[in-house]
């Protein structure tokens, strides 16, 4: 797995922390990076204008993604400024690490 640090680019937020995502090294494509990043951050992929490798490099194609190394920092630059349209809170079952069987345990 390739571990990357990703966040939504938003200079208006006081706390704009990165999250870590994992990508299968066999599927290092731009499309897969976009899909996983949006799912983990709760962002609609249609609102992503570009993916930026910090500090100042735009990712454009699969070869760019293939060159990424562990713990590199990426930002999703969004096209729309209305944050109510951008963010969708993932349901508990959509979050990574959710275990349906463990959630059904009773004591």
Classify 95 as helix, strand or coil: coil
**Domain range spanning residue 56?**
2-78
| Spatial distance between the Cα atoms of 5 and 71, rounded to a whole number of angstroms | 6
For the stretch 24-68, pLDDT in tens is 999 999 999 999 999 999 999 999 999 999 999 999 999 999 999
Token pair for 105: 């345990």
- pLDDT tier at 16 (50, 70, 90 boundaries)? confident
- What is the number of structural domains in the chain? 1
**100, pLDDT greater than 90:** no
Query: Is there a domain that residue 24 lies in?
Result: yes
- Partners of 26 in the beta sheet? none
Query: Is there a domain that residue 66 lies in?
Result: yes
pTM over 0.85: no
Model pLDDT, residue 86: 47
Classify 9 as helix, strand or coil: coil
Query: Is there a domain that residue 21 lies in?
Result: yes
């Amino acid at each position: 797995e390739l571990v990357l640090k990703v966040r939504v680019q938003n200079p208006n937020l006081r706390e704009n922390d990165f999250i870590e995502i994992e990508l299968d090294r066999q599927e290092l494509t731009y499309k897969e990076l976009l899909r996983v990043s949006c799912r983990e951050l709760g962002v609609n992929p249609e609102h992503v204008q570009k993916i930026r490798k910090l500090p100042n490099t735009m990712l454009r194609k699969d070869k760019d993604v293939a060159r990424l190394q562990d713990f590199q920092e990426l930002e999703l630059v969004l096209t729309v400024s209305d944050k109510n349209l951008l963010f969708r809170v993932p349901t508990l079952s959509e979050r990574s690490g959710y275990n349906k069987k463990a959630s059904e345990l009773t004591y």
